[in-house]
Amino acid sequence: MPFELSVNLEYMFHEAGERLKDRMAAAAAAGFRKVEIFTTANRDVPSLKAALAETGCELLATVTDPRIALVMADQHHRFREMFAQAAAEAAELGASNIVVPSGIAVPYMKRPAQLDIVAGAIASVVDMAAAHGLTILLEPVNTRVDHPGVLFGMTEDAVGVIERIGSPQVKLLYDLYHSITEREDPRTVLPKVAHLVGHIQIADAPGRGEPGTGAIDWPAMLELIASVGYTGPLGLELTPTGADTAAALAHVRALAA
């Protein structure tokens, strides 16, 4: 089946300049209509909103502040304040999803206890997300290369929190690159968690470049994703290996089509 692609403007179209609005224009000119960004904090939200309208792009997701350690109960008040602003800004930009990183793990507490604390923090903002029409996405990210020390290193970590909360407003962001880098087998993991998946992101491994630059069998992986019933967009969260982003993404666009 064909998949629509979404591009993360933090990683791609740097050739258009430093401003996200210019990268968005470049993405739109290349034929992409769905985009993703990181946090909206300290960014010109009205300018981004205008750029989305001008380019006809849809903002698929934003990210809350990853520096807040949700395992620290004394940071939960700060997290709720930050989330309230981030959710309002995401909704202003028309986003449908907001990603909540777990923050760091701690060595002095058993993992189930840490996951319980994080679940409590995220459960406390579910109503805020619902009020803005947002789905909260929890993303496991690899600890072996990119994010040493984070709590959500394995898919099961985020899934455990999602199941503790038990709300349809909280779903899984499954990133194929992170899963494989963490030495998980998507053929085993994805079918088990597909009912919880709200979004899927991809990049090749090793290297986190565009599909075709690493060792992943992409026709097989796209077939796997389709086989579990996922019909949403595939988020491209990768670092192009060439200076021309559109050219670097030509292969995955052909596969996705």
pLDDT one-digit tens code per residue, 76-110 = 999 999 999 999 999 999 999 999 999 999 999 99
pLDDT tens for 21-69 read 999 999 999 999 999 999 999 999 999 999 999 999 999 999 999 889 9
pLDDT tens for 134-187 read 999 999 999 999 999 999 999 999 999 999 999 999 999 999 999 999 999 999
pLDDT tens for 221-256 read 999 999 999 999 999 999 999 999 999 999 999 999
Measure the CA–CA gap between 220 and 163, rounded to whole angstroms.
Answer: 29
Q: Output the pLDDT for position 140.
A: 98
Instruction: Specify the fold of 5-241.
Output: TIM Barrel (3.20.20)
Integer distance in angstroms from the first to the last C-alpha of the chain?
A: 8
Q: Is the pTM of this model over 0.95?
A: yes
